[in-house]
Amino acid sequence: MDNRKLKLLVMPNCIELGQKIDMELKRINKTENSYLVDFKPDRFSNGEGKVKINESVNNTDLYILSDVGNYDISYNYHGRVHHMSPDEHFEDIKRSIAATSGHASKINVIMPLLYESRQHKRRGNESLDCAIALQELEHIGVDNIITFDAHDPNVSNAIPRLPFENFYPTHTILEELIENEELKDLLVISPDMGAMERARYYADMLGCDVGVFYKRRDLSRVVNGKNPIVEHMYMGADPKRKDVIIVDDMIASGGSMIEVAENLRKKGVDKIFLIATFALFTEGTEKFVEAYDQGLFTKLYSTNLSYVPESITNKEWYQEVDCSKYMALIINTLNKKEDIEGLWNGKKKIIDKIKVKKYQEK
């Protein structure tokens, strides 16, 4: 099979993750040669940017990796320190594509956190930013888009002719959870109706029941762009004396997830584990520190697919799940044009791991 040379262009917003993926790719392919592209993103003092690629990418299968949610990347702007926004990270992706000058045979954009994924549908006279961004990437020559746990995978309908690979790190997270924790009589909980499909997926992997909270909102008011939650109403199996896993795609303020944990505590659950693919903590971690001190949850599991500062990853209640091995496997499989079916669902692996754990406990 004629496989094009694999190259990995890692944006400055995810250097650590990119280097880990590079190491895994070298291990998989048994080579000492790095897959990383030598390039330089730069800024003018007025904030305008540019990208220069310092090596040939002719006839390559190019993978551009970017963490658009990294708020710790900064540059000097009119004499002041300016932290980059998702919009600026997305612009740098487009600059990198333009810098290839059309020489790469295939361009794959990997955004673990999909740009503008929270603005995936329109209500009234609103912008539809995620769909527009995807169409823009298609227009400038991207051949494939790879993301993880998209807020709404149906946004891919905006680009029906372009491959849109939406992977889930579910089995990677569950492997870590099963390895580290003593679990019994499990119940998976969705914090709202929108996350129910994700919760069912987790429950199916673990072979357990599922429950959901319905968020009753005050539709007459808007606070910080959202209708405030009036009440959490639980529907599902009795959670009393069960170990509960609350799952969601991302944690922004985290208030909703903590309220759900508080509600479940009142219902007499044993351990509570929080799982989110992306721990954004847009309003800080004070709520989580307080909730942990109050015994509302045992631990929060999240991935390294988007930036989380060490001040958080070092906390005793936070467990980072490394997804670099999984990402390297995805990239390598796509590059070699092999069947990706086995990468979608790691259910068998989880079941086997649970069996081993139970055997060891006997």
For 76-128, how does the pLDDT look when each residue is reduced to its tens digit (9 = 90+)? Answer: 888 899 999 999 999 999 999 999 988 999 999 999 999 999 887 777 788 88
Both tokens assigned to 156: 């891919």
Residue with tokens 């390039």: 39
For the chain, domain boundaries: 5-167+324-341, 170-321
Model's pTM, two decimal places?
Answer: 0.89
pLDDT digits (tens, 9 = 90+) for 223-271: 776 677 777 788 888 899 999 999 999 998 888 899 999 999 999 999 9
Rounded Cα distance, 89 and 1, in Å: 35
Residue 155 CA neighbour count, 13 Å, CB half: 26
Rounded Cα distance, 48 and 2, in Å: 40
Amino acid identity of 306? S
Q: How far is CA 198 from the centre of its chain?
A: 13
Cross-strand pairs, 48: none
pLDDT of 19 higher than 50: yes
Cross-strand pairs, 210: 188
**How far lies 359's CA from each of 122, 242, 347, 362, in Å?**
50, 21, 18, 5
Cβ distance 190 to 202 under 8 Å? no
The residue among 76 and 67 whose pLDDT is bigger is: 67
pLDDT digits (tens, 9 = 90+) for 180-189: 999 889 999 9
Both tokens assigned to 119: 């603005």
Cβ distance 311 to 286 under 8 Å? no
The residue among 35 and 238 whose pLDDT is bigger is: 35
Rounded Cα distance, 67 and 244, in Å: 30
| 5-167+324-341: CATH, from 3.40.50.2020, 3.30.565.10, 1.10.565.10, 3.30.365.10 | 3.40.50.2020
Which pLDDT score, from 0 to 100, does residue 125 have? 81
Helix (H) or strand (E) segment spanning residue 165: strand 164-167
Three-state DSSP state, 142: coil
Rounded Cα distance, 237 and 212, in Å: 9
Decide whether 5-167+324-341 matches 170-321 in CATH topology: yes
Is the domain spanning 170-321 CATH 3.50.50.60? The answer is no
pLDDT of 26 higher than 90: yes
